[in-house]
């Protein structure tokens, strides 16, 4: 079966995803993309991160998660680790709820695939 080409991601959605990553990077204490990209273990190159943050490219869900993990967990001595953790959770929820990763459509399909509840006996109220 031939693979279906993905629909292009809406520009506004791409910018939103990029903004989530930019906010995490800044909260993690990296003022510039080059500072984050220079850290050993950074999961993306400097120009790739720039493209994501500008909304020119949308990272795959795996790449998005790797960057969130890098900023939120693998950053040494962030200014406020607790706030960074909350922001990372919020970014994951926002990304998964966006059309970029098709999770809302997957959940809708799962709901359509569920069988209807079986008709059963009901108790009479007294």
CA quadruple 121, 124, 125, 126: dihedral positive or negative? negative
Average pLDDT of the chain?
92
pLDDT band at 126 (very low <50, low <70, confident <90, very high): low
The crossing angle, in degrees rounded to 10, of helices 61-72 and 81-97 is 170
* Res 77: pLDDT: 95
Whether the predicted pLDDT of 2 surpasses 80: no
Whether the predicted pLDDT of 61 surpasses 90: yes
CA quadruple 62, 64, 69, 70: dihedral positive or negative? positive
Rounded distance, CA 13 to CA 99, Å? 7
* Res 118: pLDDT: 81
* Res 120: pLDDT: 72
Domains and CATH numbers, the chain: 11-102 (1.10.260)
pTM summary value: 0.85
pLDDT in tens, 112-122: 999 888 877 66
Q: Decide if 36 contacts 25 (C-beta within 8 A).
A: yes
């Amino acid at each position: 079966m031939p693979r279906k080409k993905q629909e292009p991601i809406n520009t506004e959605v791409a910018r939103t995803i990029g903004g989530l990553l930019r906010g995490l990077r800044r909260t993690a204490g990296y003022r510039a993309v080059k500072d984050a990209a220079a850290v050993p273990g950074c999961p993306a190159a400097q120009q790739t991160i720039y493209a994501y943050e500008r909304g020119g490219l949308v990272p795959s869900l795996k790449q998005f998660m790797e960057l969130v993990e890098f900023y939120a967990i693998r950053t040494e001595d962030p200014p406020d680790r607790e706030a960074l953790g909350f922001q990372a959770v919020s970014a994951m929820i926002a990304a998964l709820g966006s059309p970029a990763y098709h999770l809302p459509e997957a959940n809708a399909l799962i709901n359509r695939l569920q069988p209807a509840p079986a008709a059963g006996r009901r108790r009479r109220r007294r």
